[in-house]
Structure 1
Amino acid sequence: MKQSSRLVIAAMLALLLGACAHGAKNVERADLPPPDTTTASGAYEGATDYRIGSQDLLEIAVFGVSELTHQARVNSNGMINVPLIGGVMAGGKTVPELEKELGARYADGYLQNPQVTVFVKEYTSQRVTLEGALKKPGIYPLTGKTSLLQAVAMAGGTDEFADLEGVVLFRHIEGKRMAAAYDLRLVRRGELEDPQVYGDDVIVIERSGSKSAFREFLRSVPALGLFLAL
């Protein structure tokens, strides 16, 4: 893993130690809340505010004109190539903004009242960091709606030293860095919700028998699946 990622994990460890020493504020949620849109790349559901990023795969269709239905990968400069129109800047735009622009471009000499729909097929610009007792820890792209178990599978699954009770998920919520503890055994058995993972999330899996800051954090959590503000 890159040195910058290791520094991020080290900083989170320091935050955990401080939170455990001073008593972290417990924030109970009925459902696992999504991250702040200002700190993450966007959400998958109700994604009108999601901003398209590099390497996202878009599916574009024009109602009644099947020949114009196609997929376009956003390049590193944020551009896509659209039939009849040519190059269009998609990076940084929301889906409704891009639909409106494509509609205007098609209406300018090509189609009458075009109805353009854009669907983000792969959210490749969003990434999740997986660290700890995993076979292939690293930074992975989220190419669709992804759960905690699916994210762990992307990293090759847990290794033989993993403490399945010691899984910590970090996220920015309401302007604060927060963390939640999970028992992966309960998630796999369906006894605990398999939470959705978002871009910029960090997942750390503790090693059995270790005496780290994560162990102190896990002892401080009154119940699994509850977020603590760090």
Structure 2
Amino acid sequence: MKKLFAFCCCLLLSSCFEITERIKHHDDQSGEYTLMVDFSQSWLKTKSAIWLEEVDGVKIPNEQEITQKLDDFKSKVSKIGGISNVITKTNFDKYIFIIKLDYKTLKALNEVVNTLNKQKNQIHFTGDSKSFERIASYPIPEKLIKDEKKKEDLEKASIVSIYTFDRDISATSNGNSKISKNKKTVFLKQSMYSVLKKSALMNNTIKLNQ
């Protein structure tokens, strides 16, 4: 995710985007994970930035480089025990990029996120029969938040989490999160600017009915 966020922040110099993390988590602690980066709201600006290859002195990866990075990621995480059905998708018409995979354990999922972030032994998810916890850590360049010229763009960009469970949700620790009517899904959305200032805004502990 470190490279992914770096790529997003490079394009943020000329466009806004949304990052969505979607998880369907089962009682046996397995599940499906999807990460989507969506530049469709500003696809023309994004396309122009990639075509120019540089914005404000920052190198922008071209389409071939983006595809190669995703292929490299797929190859790496496919070798992680407990990870299967890894899929990466690119849509260079709307500039939407997707990573999908299945995990058998949260330990395996943590290893996937650590591969994205180039981290080791970092815990991003924990869970048991009673709860599920997301511990957020987004490696976004801090210098962006110090640039007042980028504040408006950062406020337009957003990070979203959508987590679905087999059992009903009884409570969440994050006051900004919303529980669906059927009580199976929790939704949380924050601006990139807010998360840059405080990653913990995406933290959430979801309590499940027994």
TM range (shorter): under 0.3
TM-score by length of 2: 0.27
TM-score by length of 1: 0.26
Kindly name which structure, 1 or 2, has the bigger radius of gyration based on alpha carbons.
1
Between Structure 1 and Structure 2, the one with more helix by share is 2
